Amino acid sequence: MSDQPIDILWVLFSAVLVAMMQPGFTALEAGATRTKNSISTAIKNVSDFLIAFMIFIVFGVSIMLGTSHDGLFGWSPVFFYQYTLSDLVLTLFHAMFASTAVTIISGAIAERTKFSSYLLIAVIVSMFIYPIQAHWIWNGDGWLAQMGFIDFAGSTVVHSVGGWAALAAILVIGPRIGRFEDGVINFEQSNLAYSALGVFLIWLGWIGFNGGSVLELNQQTGLVVLNTMIAGSIGGLTGLIINRITTGYYQVFDIINGVLAGLVAITASAHLASPISAIFIGLLGYVAYHLGKVLLIKLKIDDALEAVPVHLFAGIAGTLAVAALVENVSFYDQFKVQAIGILTVGFLSFSVTFLLLKLINHFHTLRVSEAAEILGLNMSEHQSSTSMYDLAKAMNTQAQEQDFSKKIMVEPHSDASLIATYYNHVTQAFNQLSAEKEALIEETFHMANYDQLTGLAKRRLLVNELSRSLERLNRQPQINALLFIDLDGFKMINDEYGHDAGDILLKEAAMRIQSSVRKTDLPARFGGDEFVVLLENIQNESFAAEVADKIIHAVKQPIMLPNEVEGFVNASIGLKIFDNEIKLSVDDILNQADKAMYVAKRRGKGQWVLA
């Protein structure tokens, strides 16, 4: 690196620009994940920066830029770079690159990975992968550098490495619940406006990413920045046009990822390309991304943010494109060198990540529990609430207390305020109903449709309501759920203390189940000690999971039997979520929930299992 003050200042400024990619990735990923996971996704981006930065400046830079041993591994004393300004600035610049490689992984495995697991992945990539392969390529004595492998600013060193590691992590951790059930399910993204803002921040940082890699401020720097802007623009425009032609719409996420794919592709050759060739490389980046996206979906590999198609596939395409731009070397010879570099770096990144994660997963499960995933990582991992969650909780409290006299109050400028306003209108109208009419209707209805012992709905009413619910889904798309509940230990109490005790237990269990659900929900006695609850128009899957947990907690409390004997039972629950996209009959839903309930029993009872 040059010792000229203007060059040092440019590289330092570029390091600051590259650091701006971190808030860009944070906004991109938090906006593209579901609301219940957005906070968790954001804090993972902050945390991986802390880990990657500290590991690199303490160990990574010594491995990457230190004295080479046979071109395979470098080492110089810790903090060897602190004695000259140019070395300090260069180290800071490369530290930003190391952090970027790690943050690529967070989006790919979002929404189902434990926070502690992601921290382990960040350590693995920062310590055992990134600095070693960077030494091979960016240290002048590295064996790939000696072969003539070219990766100007990191299509392979940064982006493909992050992509390979992300792919390995995805294969170990598996897809999100429901992603590939009954076809391909596209989950709602919390705020694509934030994602668009994030891409602009990333793009701004990419000026430093590629422009700073010249390590000097000269005419070539200007050309590199121009090529970077061209390739990103072409990648985004290609996504815009292709989506309009194929779907009839302008798909926001494809445009965003098209920009990123173009930027990733040009990064390997920004110093060699002309503006004309930058156009073709930007187009190549989008095509590689699109093919990668289609392939991953076909193989049912769940990449939450399409990070692997963007960073791995476009990174490979951009690295191979170098062969067409190098002068004085035949295309075949340079292509062979580029391919060798891609394969060796890919083997290191994928195999190390995959094997270590497999080993860790054996002792420390990388994935959150099914219940935690349904509830959302914001709450289950970080106890971080949102306005929507607070609204759902307040509505559930009203349902449990069956008191709709008070209005629900939420932050007036939050996303949930409009829903709360309309909900309050509904409860106000509900409270104006005539008490006498309600009593008369309820009495008549109970006589024909409700169980005499427990007061809950009979099986016939449940089946009729479930059938009507399925019909309503065709007109009013919404999310519904059915809970199939069996009392664990009822037969033993019934046999030991008699039918009177059994009746008392059934009545108390029914009361507890009814008190755990909304007034608008339908709890029913299905037969014997089996109960079913129909939840309609729930806010999300997490709400159904909360109801199941509350029922289990309520039922397992002691029940006072005759002669002051305490009876104890548990509840095993099969939970089936269904909406207008799932074409099932009444019998199908009941059978699937029933089977899930028996799975819960086999797993140890006193728990719920998702059908």
Angle between helices 115-124 and 35-55 (to 10 degrees): 30
Q: Return the bridge partners of 572, or none.
A: 486
Q: Report the C-alpha gap between 344 and 75 in whole angstroms.
A: 21
Percentages helix, strand, coil for the chain (3-state, rounded to 5) are 65, 10, 25
Given the residues 151, 302, 451, 529, select the one marked as catalytic.
529
Q: Which residues is 560 bridged to in the sheet? A: 566
- Asked if residues 247 and 201 have their Cβ atoms less than 8 Å apart, the reply is no
CA atoms within 13 A on the CB side of 137: 26
Query: If DSSP codes are grouped into helix, strand and coil, which group holds residue 51?
Result: helix
**Helices 252-266 and 275-298 meet at what angle, rounded to 10?**
120
- Given a contact cutoff of 8 angstroms between Cβ atoms, the answer to whether 304 and 33 are in contact is yes
Beta bridge partners of 573: 485, 608
Query: How many angstroms separate the Cα of 78 from the Cα of each of 55, 127, 530?
Result: 11, 14, 67
Helix (H, G, I), strand (E, B) or coil at 69: strand
CA distance 315 to 232: 13
- Say whether 505 sits in a helix, a strand or coil: helix
Q: What is 514-558 written as a DSSP string?
A: HHTS-TTSEEEEEETTEEEEEEEEES-HHHHHHHHHHHHHHHTS-
Residue 112, amino acid: R
529 belongs to the catalytic site = yes
Q: Is 327:305 a contact under the CB 8 Å cutoff?
A: no
Q: Is 382 exposed, middle or buried (0-12, 13-18, 19+ CB in 10 A)?
A: middle
Which residue matches tokens 């981006």? 45
What is the Cα–Cα distance from 254 to 275, expressed in whole angstroms? 24
**Cβ(391)–Cβ(141) below 8 Å:** no
CB atoms within 10 A of CB 506: 24
Neighbours of 400 (CB within 10 A): 15
The residues assigned a catalytic role are 529
